[in-house]
Structure 1
Amino acid sequence: MPGIDPTALAAGPAVYDLVRHKTLSLPQQGKEATMKRDKALMGDILKTLATFGTTYGDVEKIQGELAGKQAPELILHHLRLLNDRRLVAVDMHNFWRLTDQGYDALETGGDLFQWQDEPPPTNANAGIDN
């Protein structure tokens, strides 16, 4: 379908809704809020995925390994941001893994976002495992 991000469709209707509206309903507050980027959470997600070794993790598995209680929608949003940077990849069953660039980012131990001014890769299917 033209105009729809194929990775959003692969991740399911909840992600497509988040991508289209860029809002998240927060039941505890009873109002709509704009999703914000949390770099610390993104780093924690990368570290968590690295502990899985050769197995992939879904949002529920990642959520169970993270310190504190994070909403699945929040984790999914940050996984997609990491996917935009090609640090993680998702397969067609919605399981996530670190990419080679993700391992490099963790191994350097530096700022995960130091290369954010670099233009994104042109391959639209990069980062999707089929």
Structure 2
Amino acid sequence: MNKKQPAQSGITPTSPIKNKVGSVFVPVRNIEKSRSWYCQVLGLNEADCEIVNGHLCPLPMDGVGIILDTMPKWGGDQPGGAASIETPAFMLMTEDLKGSFDYMKELGVNLVTEIEHEHWFVVKDPDGNKLMICLEW
């Protein structure tokens, strides 16, 4: 029977996995429609957001990347598509929270919350993914 050896005090195990997030995948049903929506929300030029292999669209971001994906391998080929993100998995940052909230309202975005604690609010994208918009200090 294999027994785990107790970790020696003060010694951190070595891992080949980096302490770094490369990109976040966002499940979408219609890659073109989602690309347009995200480009409008983020102020990106659609021409700079190429659709790759018919189902991926990496967005040019500062910091951690976002990749829109119809996820054919993970249920995207099913009638309802891949499951949407029901709990915000990442934050999009802003220096103008009220201006961002008003902008999302003007775009007709589905607002899940009002501005909370003068720090954040949550919206839904066209696929029902919940996204948090957060004040950057």
TM-score grouping bracket, smaller chain normalisation: under 0.3
TM-score by length of 1: 0.27
Greater share of residues in helix:
1
TM-score under structure 2 length normalisation: 0.26
Q: Which has the larger radius of gyration?
A: 2
